[in-house]
Amino acid sequence: MAPSIRPVHDVTQALLASPNATGADDPQSAIRNLLTHRVPPGIDEAGLPAEESALGRYDMSRDPQRRVLLPGKLAEISGLAISQDGRMFAHDDERAVIFELNASGEIVKSFELGDRTVRGDFEGLAMAGGRFYMITSDGIIYEADEGDNGERVAFER
């Protein structure tokens, strides 16, 4: 039976809130623990320390809700992640391409993993320790540094 995959938002928020809360020794193990729902006691269902709820960070009573239409190029994104400095990133569903988006949903830049872009069924994106982590439906995690616009970056698998 395949491990359940955690929503990317939960993983990203958990790592931003408490990067050492997963009980792992390194960022890749921490991400794997969160994505496969292997978290130690004292962590809630969102992957945050039990005393802190992710829902408490949102004011659902405010109106109007904002809707952002993404460009057609992003019709197949599978995950979003927010950097510690507040930038938003998304990834392609079938290729290891990471996009930085502005608040209007426009692409600010994109970079790809590998000299020949890695292909796979990508399901999630997380950031920790200044690095990007993408996971496939097969549980393979790709780790890379942020690239400049149009850059192809080296990765670890």
- SS3 readout for 32-81: HHHHCCCCCCCECCCCCECCCCHHHHCCCCCCCCCCCCCCHHHCCEEEEE
Is a pLDDT exceeding 50 seen at residue 4? no
Tokens representing residue 95 in the block: 């290729």
pLDDT band at 3 (very low <50, low <70, confident <90, very high): very low
Q: What is the mean pLDDT of residues 23-35?
A: 62
What is the tens place of the pLDDT at every residue in 46-80? 555 555 555 556 566 666 566 777 888 888 888 88
Q: What is the mean pLDDT of residues 7-23?
A: 53
Closest to 141 measured CA to CA, from 124, 116, 117: 124
Task: Report the pLDDT value the prediction gives residue 48, as an integer from 0 to 100.
Answer: 54
pTM listed for this prediction: 0.60
Tokens representing residue 89 in the block: 């990133």
Is the model more confident about 48 or about 154? 154
